Structure 1
């Protein structure tokens, strides 16, 4: 997967990996179609940070979900 390319497919891939890594219970709350490619770099930064980390505290997960929520289309 070439994440240097800004595409809807890559957004979908990153969102799914983020949900898996954070063990998001309500996956419907974070949907790939809720994101534009305009926010791609920010989403990619969050994705890369999440993939590198082994575990997360509850407060870290809350903060990450909040940041992802800010990137969603209005």
Structure 2
């Protein structure tokens, strides 16, 4: 995932976030989002990040993962 990101960095203007499987919020699937977000930050990416997932439960509760990764909406 991160290798592909690096190869296309100059063409990326919008990153969509959803875990896999299930397209739910980060932390509910197999993607290591601590690593992914750290990698995106180190890359110098300065574009938009969209939360393109289907929340497990209500929307407000589904945003609690942001604190785990030191992020804010």
TM-score, shorter chain, exceeding 0.5: no
Determine which structure has the larger strand proportion and give its number: 2
**Structure number with higher helix proportion:** 1
What range is the shorter-chain TM-score in?
under 0.3
Query: So what's the TM-score if we normalise by structure 1?
Result: 0.27
With the length of structure 2 as denominator, give the TM-score of the two structures: 0.27
- Rg larger in structure: 2
